[in-house]
Structure 1
Amino acid sequence: MEQINFNNELSGKIALVTGGTKGTGKAIAERLSQAGTNVIITARNEPEKENQNLHFISADLSKAAGTEKVVKEVLEKYGKLDILINNLGGSETKGGGFAVLTDADWETSLQTNLLAPVRLDRGFLPQMIERKNGVIVHIASIQAQLPLYDSTLPYASAKAGLLNYSKSLSNEVSPKGVRVLTVSPGWINTASSKAMMERIAESSNITIEQATKSVMDSLGGIPFGRPAQPEEIAELIGFLVSPRANYLTGTEFVIDGGTIPTI
């Protein structure tokens, strides 16, 4: 993509991007860094390629101890957090519908996709409210409205919960100076999405191409003709957390190439 001069519009801001070592999270972290932000990224595993502009914290946010570690380290090192991007998420459950899913499958999806952002918000909101300044973005999914019951049932359910929670949180904290937004992407072309196709193919005993077509059919197709690139999601995030979006709060932004077929 052509490099754009963002004029350091976020200079002096401190941002945390969860799941920021690869895919969409990495693209978001790099976009915020280009805008002058001091960016912290967190994931279970270190990034494959080190970026000196990004401060990495190793943590498993699906567990309360991981969240506590991140909150403590960020506030001790930087003294504040201005921007929280709850990007961590994903589905690692089996395809095949409700009958093949165990309590452990449900628990894993709920911890990662819903409770991790809830705990991080709870950890960082007090200092945002005290300063009457901050932006929280929850990365949900169009599956909150368009669930794929045969492949990602727990994930879709968790993201639907995140969508509702995000709206409720906005109603509570927007009057206190903190903006809360939700971004719901459609299919994004990442390594994780390719891995999901491989899992569906294996569990259903079909080819990866057939798995991809089955998911596309479940989505009703993508009118734009392709999945999103991570950088396209990052560009939307970059705008939403900037001063240019100061009046936006409590809103869901769908970025799906036209996938959702209704208004």
Structure 2
Amino acid sequence: MEQIFNFNNELSGRIVLVTGGTKGTGKAIAERLLHAGATVIVTARNAPKRHNENIHFLSADLSQPRETQEVISKVLQKFGRLDILINNLGGSDTPGGGFSVLSDDDWEKTIHTNLLAPVRLDRGFLPQMLDRGEGVIIHIASIQARLPLYDSTLPYAASKAALLNYSKNLSNEVSPKGVRVLTVSPGWIQTDGAKGMMQEIAERAGITVEEAIQQVMKNLGGIPFGRPAKPEEVAELVGFLASPRAGYLTGTEFVIDGGTLPTI
């Protein structure tokens, strides 16, 4: 029997959680899934000044185990289940300068945010997905898992590499029981935060913002597409992977980097 998909409302009735979903790529993902008909919940440490009233917001610092457990409990108590989990939260604020300037605290904070937060959320939401025999978990990693910038984001790159390995192995365990697990690895995304960083680089170096962008792309080894990704482009990929149209996809990493990675 041929399966018919409703692209305009394909996630109707689905409950979705997007971590780090109030700005940048997370916000774009949340809005994309909302437009597909899902009930969307987002987490972040602070509520945005402008918030979509159709998206449910939970304040939480997911680098803290207790607050992560509170999110799990609140979602299941209020909505009864979770169908799709987008582990988007991630980032790095460790100092540049290579291994010698990094403390244990730098490493632990980065690993808690980029690796252990997704692990804890998966552990909290998977049992009810497995009981129903369906669900989708998408981990947002990074091409730095394979292309680390050792002088500036060493802990971040290491934690994303661990997330990639974990995601594949989790898929091997739960996919036979009906839960799809996928990884999306973006390259450089031109978020508002990235734009601000380009402005700072330009001001420090006495160059234009466009020159700063070109300089960063050169440091990455080049982006054949000629520009960073837009958050909405990453969100469109996530929207497809979360949908029934991607029903046979699991255990796979999807790279969206404009061709940055030099190998296949």
Q: TM-score, normalised to structure 1's length? A: 0.92
Partner of 2:251: 250
Per-residue Cα deviation, 1:39-73 (whole angstroms, up to 9, x for no partner): 00000000221211100000000010111010000
Q: Quote how far apart the aligned CAs of 1:122 are.
A: 0.3
Q: Output aligned runs, 1:89-168, within 5 Å.
A: 89-168=90-169
1:50 is aligned to 2:29? no
Q: Report matched runs for 1:162-201 at 5 Å.
A: 162-194=163-195
Counterpart CA distance in 2 for 1:201 and 1:138 is: 32
What are the Cα deviations for residues 74-100 of structure 1, in whole angstroms up to 9, with x where unaligned? 000000000000000011111111111
How far does residue 193 in structure 1 lie from its aligned partner after superposition? 2.6
Distance in structure 1 (CA, Å) of the matches to 2:166 and 2:112: 14
Post-superposition shift, 1:225? 0.4
Question: Where does residue 18 of structure 1 map in the other structure?
Answer: 19
One-letter amino acid matched to 1:77: K
Query: Aligned-pair distance for 1:192?
Result: 2.8
CA distance in 1, matches of 2:62, 2:75: 14
Cα distance change of structure 1 residues 160 and 172 upon mapping to structure 2, 3 Å threshold? same
Query: After superposition, where does 1:65-84 map in structure 2 within 5 Å?
Result: 65-84=66-85
User: After superposition, what is the alpha-carbon deviation per residue over 1:217-246, rounded to whole angstroms, capped at 9, x for unaligned?
Assistant: 331110000000000000001100100000
Distance 1:207 1:97 in 2: 25
Three-state SS of the structure 2 residue aligned to 1:179 is strand
SS in structure 1 at match of 2:139: strand
Alpha-carbon distance, 1:261 to partner: 0.9
Query: How far apart in 2 are the matches of 1:201 and 1:162?
Result: 33
One-letter amino acid matched to 1:145: R
Specify the code of the residue in structure 2 equivalent to 1:179. R
C-alpha change, 1:112 and 1:201, in structure 2 (3 Å) is farther
Give the Cα separation in 1 of the matches to 2:216 and 2:139: 24
Q: Give per-residue Cα distances to partners, 1:189-216, cap 9 Å, x unaligned.
A: 01233455578899xx756868755542
In the alignment, the residues of structure 2 paired with residue 199 and residue 19 of structure 1 have an alpha-carbon distance, to the nearest angstrom, of: 24
Paired position in structure 2 for 1:37: 38
Once residues 105 and 199 of structure 1 are traced to their aligned partners in structure 2, the CA distance between those partners, rounded to angstroms, is: 23
Q: Which runs of 5+ in 1 are unaligned?
A: none
Unaligned runs of at least 5 residues, structure 2: 1-5
Relative to structure 1, the CA distance from residue 85 to residue 186 in structure 2 (aligned partners, 3 Å threshold; closer, same or farther) is: same
Count of aligned positions: 257
RMSD: 1.9
Q: Which residue of 1 aligns with 2:239?
A: 238
- What is the rounded CA distance, in whole Å, between the counterparts of 1:215 and 1:105 in structure 2? 24
Task: Look up the SS of the partner of 2:11 in the other structure.
Answer: coil
- Give, as a single letter, the amino acid of the residue that structure 2 aligns with 1:181: L
- 8 Å contact from structure 1 (residues 137, 183) kept in 2: yes
Q: How far, CA to CA, are the matches of 1:77 and 1:182 in structure 2?
A: 28
- TM-superposed CA distance for 1:178, in Å, is 0.2
2:18 alignment partner, SS class: strand
Distance 1:201 1:112, change over 3 A: farther
User: How many Å apart are 1:182 and its aligned residue?
Assistant: 0.1
Q: CA offset at residue 33 of structure 1?
A: 0.3
Question: Cα–Cα, structure 1 residues 169 and 198, in superposed 2: closer, same or farther, change >3 Å?
Answer: farther
